[in-house]
Amino acid sequence: MKDKSVAHSSADIVVSNFIRSIIDEDNRSGKWQRRVETRFPPEPNGYLHIGHAKSICLNFGLARDYKGVCHLRFDDTNPEKEAQEYVDAICENVAWLGFDWEGRQHYSSDYFDQLYAFAEYLITQGKAYVESLNADEMREHRGTLTSPGQNSPYRDRSIEESLDLFRRMKEGEFADGRYVLRAKIDMASSNMNMRDPVIYRIRHIRHQRTGEKWCIYPMYDYTHCISDALENITHSLCTLEFEDHRPLYDWVLDQLVDKVPCHPQQIEFARLNLTYAVMSKRKLIELVEGGLVDGWDDPRLSTLVGLRRRGFTPKSIRLFVERIGVSKADSWIDMSVLEDCLREDLNESAPRRIAILKPLKLIIDNYPCDQEEDCLAPNHPKKPEWEKRVVPLSKTIYIERDDFMEEPAKGYFRLSPGAEVRLRYAYIVKCVSVEKNVAGEIEAIHCTYDPDTKSGTEGATTRKVKGNIHWLSVKHVLQAEVRLYDRLFSDPYPDAGDKDYKASLNPNSKEITVAYVEQSLAEVKPEQAFQFERNGYFIADRVDTKLGKPVFNRVVTLRDSWGKVSGLA
Ligand code: ATP
Ligand code: MG
């Protein structure tokens, strides 16, 4: 399908996709009276990740653009794995991404009574039966992809007997696994999902919302379509692996045509696969529980709580989802696409500050010992209305160790013996000598400055030099913990095929250092983001930043330096 740009409201131009084409066509034909109602249906059995963000942005975004509504529905039919902790985290994530379900917060468990009544109805219609075979026997009867299944000997048990057994299942008379309820469809179907799928099972386990009320729980495929229909959903979006489940989705609703308000359309789209990340809940749990990362919100994880803590903004994630589009073809998106969206957002929104990550002392020999002066640095190079801030200069300053090379490589325009650079917002300096300790390591470098070259001063010499480096006065710095994060995996496809993703964990994905930063940063609030000039984008850690004691996470470098020698511009 060709993408084309269409205006959905006077304000935004959005890129069309095959789902929008379906909705446009439905609106033309009047199928839903121009109603668009979608839902995001997470199972509360783990934390959301960036793949879920695609589904959230898609569902809420369509509802917004078509003046419809989107529900947040918890698919909570597996009480053994689900918990309120996850419900709370999911609500927080969706709201953080900027979407509002306006009170439409539903749970599949809200429908347990109706789901049960519909199951009894299916039995009375000869469309469901209680199965006595155990799981192994059922598997043996199921057939394979190339051979049909066999009917269970219990398939034709009487309606009365099935109804009686089903009611007794509900009353708690039987142990787990003793019986199941199956839809009576077609054991010879070429689609395995249609071979009399199980729709109810016995589980003597407390449910986080319905407590002890139930000891039988409906299966996902049976629950999902009915929940959609009861909520009047129009377009039920899911990932491609559910394509083979669609005939079952439709079959269930066809049986209940007089009982539910509508028959939503299931539409499948390709899930997000992101390089250098793992997204399966199972693997995320292994990383967290195995102590391979620092919890669910580890800034290197692709969970939404992790991305948030790292410093990804809701806007950058929404932009990312918009940019990657939606299609029916499975593909991989490179992590750099996500990082670029973040750079785009932060380049606009993050005030500039200076931090020295790996300090080297520079002494300006001809600068008076007791002198201090104000240099003015813009808070944003493209936003004069953000004004300038004062960066004080004195005789002894810190520069980045990488900004000096005793024996400069070809094309190196920063400091080296005899070379000149501009100290940003201040003077041109020239390196005159190098101070070393007994081990021969450089301890400090000495420069002279040219007093006629102060930036922004009228009448200053406009001599041009190639290097332009940042610095902070030793007397005027604040120490701050800085966490330099990098990609968690060094393999772009850490879990492709049978690969052990743990084998490609990047050992250098987290480096903690103490940096020197501008003193004004003592007052930062958690989650304030900055560009530390030439060093990248940083955010005040939302958990560990305390008044007077900021902790910064590197969100992303200024340019995509992955795979190349990382260094300063
Ligand atoms: P698991 O990781 O165990 O496969 P899940 O990620 O499918 O679970 P759900 O809570 O069922 O977890 O997902 C909620 C919704 O998010 C579903 O509609 C699902 O299709 C969608 N979703 C999940 N992963 C992705 C992904 N990578 N890309 C796009 N949508 C996704
Ligand atoms: Mg799922």
276 and 383 together in one domain: no
Residue type, 486: D
331 and 419 together in one domain: no
329 and 375 together in one domain: no
Final residue belonging to a domain, choices 425, 446, 475: 475
The answer to the question of residue 355 being in a domain is no
446 and 487 together in one domain: no
- Domain count across the chain: 4
Q: How far is the CA of 239 from the centre of ligand 2 (A)?
A: 9
| Closest C-alpha residue for ligand 1 atom 10 | 42
What does the pLDDT read at residue 563? 46
Final residue belonging to a domain, choices 405, 440, 475: 475
The answer to the question of residue 545 being in a domain is yes
The residue assigned the tokens 């039988």 is: 216
DSSP per residue, 529-562: EEEETTTEEEEE-TTT-BTTB-EEEEEE-SS--T
CA distance 359 to 472: 10
Query: pTM surpassing 0.85?
Result: yes
**What is the CA angle 300-305-309, rounded to 5?**
60
| Closest C-alpha residue for ligand 1 atom 23 | 52
Mark whether 80 is an active-site residue. no
The answer to the question of residue 349 being in a domain is no
The answer to the question of residue 555 being in a domain is yes
The answer to the question of residue 315 being in a domain is yes
Q: What is the position in ligand 1's atom list of the atom closest to the CA of 44?
A: 10
The answer to the question of residue 532 being in a domain is yes
The 10s digit of each residue's pLDDT in 487-504 is: 999 999 999 888 999 999
Among 311, 246, 351, CA closest to 552: 311
| Closest C-alpha residue for ligand 1 atom 29 | 271
What does the pLDDT read at residue 16? 87
What does the pLDDT read at residue 330? 87
291 and 305 together in one domain: yes
What does the pLDDT read at residue 459? 81
Mark whether 137 is an active-site residue. no
What does the pLDDT read at residue 14? 66
Q: Which contacts (CB < 8 Å, 24+ apart) does range 519-526 have?
A: 519/476, 519/477, 519/478, 520/353, 520/389, 521/353, 521/478, 521/480, 521/550, 522/478, 522/547, 522/548, 522/549, 522/550, 523/547, 523/548, 524/550
SS3 state of residue 300: coil
The 10s digit of each residue's pLDDT in 10-24 is: 344 567 899 999 999
What does the pLDDT read at residue 343? 97
Residue 284 domain boundaries? 4-109+221-339
Which one of the listed residues 281, 315, 328, 502 is annotated catalytic?
281
CA distance 171 to 539: 55
| Closest C-alpha residue for ligand 1 atom 16 | 52
Cα–Cα distances in angstroms (integers) from residue 537 to residues 36, 483, 506, in the given order: 39, 12, 21
99 and 248 together in one domain: yes
CATH no. for residue 126?
3.90.800.10
25 and 94 together in one domain: yes
The 10s digit of each residue's pLDDT in 33-84 is: 999 999 999 999 999 999 999 999 999 999 999 999 999 999 999 999 999 9
370: CB partners within 8 A, 6+ apart:
none
277 and 401 together in one domain: no
The 10s digit of each residue's pLDDT in 101-136 is: 999 999 999 999 999 999 999 999 999 999 999 999
**Contact indicator for 557, 539 with CB cutoff of 8 Å:** no
**Contact indicator for 360, 399 with CB cutoff of 8 Å:** yes
Residues (pLDDT < 50) of the chain are: 1-12, 563-569
Backbone angles phi, psi at 198, to 5 degrees: -70, 135
288 and 434 together in one domain: no
| Closest C-alpha residue for ligand 1 atom 27 | 51
What does the pLDDT read at residue 502? 95
Final residue belonging to a domain, choices 169, 193, 220: 220
- For a pocket test of ligand 1, which of 49, 57, 97, 239 has the largest count of ligand atoms closer than 8 A to its C-beta? 239
- For a pocket test of ligand 1, which of 19, 40, 49, 52 has the largest count of ligand atoms closer than 8 A to its C-beta? 52
Cα–Cα distances in angstroms (integers) from residue 268 to residues 59, 86, 257, 285, 305, in the given order: 12, 25, 22, 26, 26
Q: How many CB atoms lie within 10 A of CB 374?
A: 13
Q: What is the position in ligand 1's atom list of the atom closest to the CA of 271?
A: 28
469: CB partners within 8 A, 6+ apart:
399, 400, 403, 414, 415, 421, 422, 423, 424, 534
70 and 213 together in one domain: no
The C-alpha torsion from 533 through 535 and 541 to 542, rounded to 10°, is: 60
What does the pLDDT read at residue 105? 98
468 and 508 together in one domain: no
CATH no. for residue 371?
2.40.240.10
Q: How far is the CA of 457 from the centre of ligand 2 (A)?
A: 62
The answer to the question of residue 346 being in a domain is no
Mark whether 282 is an active-site residue. no
Which one of the ligands is nearest to 39 CA? Answer: 1
104 and 241 together in one domain: yes
**Contact indicator for 268, 130 with CB cutoff of 8 Å:** no
Which one of the listed residues 43, 322, 373, 527 is annotated catalytic?
43
The answer to the question of residue 348 being in a domain is no
